[in-house]
Structure 1
Amino acid sequence: MALRAAEWHKLPVSLTELCINTTLRCGQSFRWRKSAEDEWSCTLHGRILSFRQDPDHLHYRAIFPSSTLPTPPPSNLPSASQSVVSDDDDTLALIKHYFNLGVDLGQLYEQWAAADANFKKRAPKFTGVRMLRQDAWEALVGFICSSNNNISRISGMVHNLCLHYGPLIGYIGKEPYHDFPTPDALAHPQVEAHLMKLGFGYRAKYIYKTAVMVQEKGLAWLEGLSNPECPPFGVEPTPAGELLEGGREGYRRAHEELLALHGVGPKVSDCVCLMGLGWSESVPVDTHVWQIAQRDYRFGKGKHSSLTTATYTAVANYFRKLWGKEAGWAHSVLFTADLKTFSERLVTKTEVKEEKVTVKTEPDRSSNALATTAIKPETRKRIKRPSVSEQQGVEVKAEVVTRSKRRKA
């Protein structure tokens, strides 16, 4: 097999069709990290993938491990001995699969905007948010870690899982890159205690027990829950006309079977269905999404005054009816548009209101993001500062207060 030094390649993809700086940071995957300025890297399917982007192209490079891994090279570039690409390299196919590039995203945005005035209002600032097609096992473990957590801390946990239990693939500079651990690697009895020491808390037991269950059932069982139209990488999709079980019934079966695993409730199950199993009609509803439903879609009154099991189903069904088959994707665009991480950078002077508003940031107890609510001026004096325990795991930024108009005497 001929080998050659890895080089950067480019794929014609506009920022409106894919924005990696948003897509890789919005809480879908928790393993991507900056390897250089404007460069993102992660291990996928036995290689290190690195991405850069300009307005018209996605630049990518694949680093495969050599037979014997070298010591970390001194420079910030991968060494020639480990940076190899085989003639039968399937990296381009993997990239197209992972980023769902077979779907015309511009057309989807137009479809969702035509059906929903709120989407039409908020989405134009967040073009290029694609639904990742991740491995089901990685998505399952990642979203078990997401319980009562924020994106930064989830990323740290997933990084520790790879560092301690995943196979070493190679280095970028002196930084090691490990692939995601297998169920077998996490099914040993000592794993739970070790994860507790690493700060996983109650999630340590969930991860260990779920790894044991998946090991016993086999990865084929988990991957068999995938949408046959969107199978795992390397598996040919089933033509729509030949589907024996698809649509809502296939999604419901996958959702219910995942609920039997430790640490998997309705929201985690829907996240795995959407981002790991290809069920794009799956709509995860957490506290953050519930706030969007209340604010923009008139939920929160009568029998839907709080986020209960019945309300969860009602919100998800409403969005499925509104946005159609790809409802989970549309929901993720609005979720991203509402994240404080991204919304702050979009505020301009013309968007700042003159009314004085205090912004309170608090932990979202059932989401992988931060819940943010605006407090009316007349109630702000009654607000208590959150305790240290309430702020745990949450980056609290300085509140921005606009000047209020002075009333004339």
Structure 2
Amino acid sequence: MKTVQLIQKMLSIPCMATELRLDITLQCGQSFRWKEVQPGFWRGVIGHRVWTLTQDDTNVLYQVHEPQLSTTKKSTKMEQDEQHQKNGMVMNDRTASLKMDDVRHLRTVKQEGPLSNEEYTAILNDYFQMHIPLEERYHDWSKVDHNFSIVSPQFPGVRMLKQDPVENVFSFICSSNNNIVRISQLVEKLCRLYGTPLIELDNFTWYAFPSVTALCGEGVEQTLREQGFGYRAKFIHQSAKIIEANGGEEWLYSLRDLPYPQCHEQLTTLTGVGAKVADCICLMSMGHLEAIPVDTHVFQIAARDYLPELQSAKTVTDRVYQKIAEHFRSLFGELAGWAHSVLFSADLKKFEALKGEERKSSKSPVKQCKATGKKKDHKEPVKRQKITKTTKTSAHTKGPCPSQQKKKQKVEERNKDGDKNCRKKTLK
């Protein structure tokens, strides 16, 4: 689908790029299901709906692709609601002021037909935690940390996502000893194997994330092993069984109400969930924004920029882990996990090009040669002397060319030799 066609079908939410950068937030290792379907256009699943997102300097634009879950004939009322939604009109009875429980219901419960614009906006605001003014937080963090003040201008709008705990738990079980590309592949396989198909767009079928019940069924571990999950297959299956035994998905959601230490402790009872993965879940789906996941990458940042005494440490022990986490919490306060994620994103190789954006913009403008496609400096063209038929000239000088000068010198030398010979004969 062409870019113009995509934009024409989109609705918008006012949002400055300094408050949200989609390209960084959706690629920095929080969620693993967002795909860039066109340059600057991102598609992924929130709840049981597929969303396409993009942005300009002042707005986030979105399109919701409703699930094709039912083949039964829709009622006249549902058809009218769909038509009103396409026209950008809010014609839905569910437009009362939305509370947090209502938003969670909209995100987690399968529903026939489209929602209202207000409900779509509420889902996005909840997912990106837009109630937190990020530009103000950047200002506060820059005042207490010189390193943050240097790094952050090239990385504005990095937001912590508020993810579904089920997806968050099993995605990060897949993250064990893995990179972002590999994790994304495993998560996609998990959805295709055990998720519900939602809709097909551009020859690609999108699936809802599997339920806990689906993941604790018979034969899940063996199937996942055959699909390349390795030892993570056992972790996924056993953790699903533990969650189901504790009360299912409701138990996971109830952990949001616990203080951070207790929430972290409960999460580590799941198979394959250690301190780091538990902190990822606390930070990204439990609302504990003070949590600091410490992996090798964060350890390197801490040792290089904050705690040089750790440079002699060979591994991330429990003591080292706690020392790093407490340092960031003492520095950045109750949103330390969010601030640390900005530093983490700024250190990723995939965002290396963003670090040079500000430097490039300060240089003289660069033009591109139409013939070769190569870049060339914006300078005044050098005027070249025309070459005439009678007198050959160099491209860079106004006098005779070097080859003509050599010929002239040889002629002069011959003439001198001839003069000398004539003089000798005369003397004789």
TM-score, with length taken from structure 2: 0.70
For 1:325, what is the secondary structure of its paired residue? helix
For 1:102, what is the secondary structure of its paired residue? coil
2:22 alignment partner in structure 1: 20
Candidates 44, 52, 55, aligned match of 1:53: 55
1:173 alignment partner in structure 2: 202
Candidates 285, 297, 307, aligned match of 1:276: 285
Give, in whole Å, the separation in 2 of the partners of 1:325 and 1:86.
34
Candidates 84, 91, 94, aligned match of 2:120: 91
Q: How does 1:18-167 map to 2 (within 5 A)?
A: 18-66=20-68, 68=70, 85-87=114-116, 90-167=119-196
Give, in whole Å, the separation in 2 of the partners of 1:180 and 1:348.
36
Q: How does 1:4-403 map to 2 (within 5 A)?
A: 7-66=9-68, 68=70, 85-87=114-116, 90-217=119-246, 218-226=248-256, 228=257, 250-301=259-310, 306-347=315-356
Find the structure with the greater CA-based Rg. Answer: 2
Question: What 5-or-longer segments of structure 1 have no aligned partner?
Answer: 1-5, 71-79, 229-244, 352-409
* AA aligned opposite 1:279: H
1:171 Cα offset (Å): 1.7
* AA aligned opposite 1:311: V
Identity %: 40
C-alpha change, 1:89 and 1:286, in structure 2 (3 Å) is same
2:41 touches 2:53 (CA, 8 Å); kept in 1?
yes
Count how many residue pairs are aligned between Structure 1 and Structure 2: 316
2:155 touches 2:354 (CA, 8 Å); kept in 1?
no
Give, in whole Å, the separation in 1 of the partners of 2:193 and 2:225.
13
| Larger RCO: 1 or 2 (CA < 8 Å, sep 6+) | 1
Question: What 5-or-longer segments of structure 2 have no aligned partner?
Answer: 1-7, 73-81, 87-112, 361-428
1:204 Cα offset (Å): 0.7
Give, in whole Å, the separation in 2 of the partners of 1:125 and 1:88.
33
1:301 Cα offset (Å): 4.1
Q: CA RMSD in A?
A: 2.4
Give, in whole Å, the separation in 2 of the partners of 1:122 and 1:24.
19
C-alpha change, 1:13 and 1:309, in structure 2 (3 Å) is same
2:194 touches 2:214 (CA, 8 Å); kept in 1?
yes
Give, in whole Å, the separation in 1 of the partners of 2:162 and 2:330.
23
2:69 touches 2:198 (CA, 8 Å); kept in 1?
no
Structure 1, residues 115-151: CA drift from partner, whole Å, max 9, x if none?
1111111111100100000011111111111110000
Give, in whole Å, the separation in 1 of the partners of 2:358 and 2:152.
20
1:87 Cα offset (Å): 4.2
* AA aligned opposite 1:324: G
1:189 Cα offset (Å): 2.5
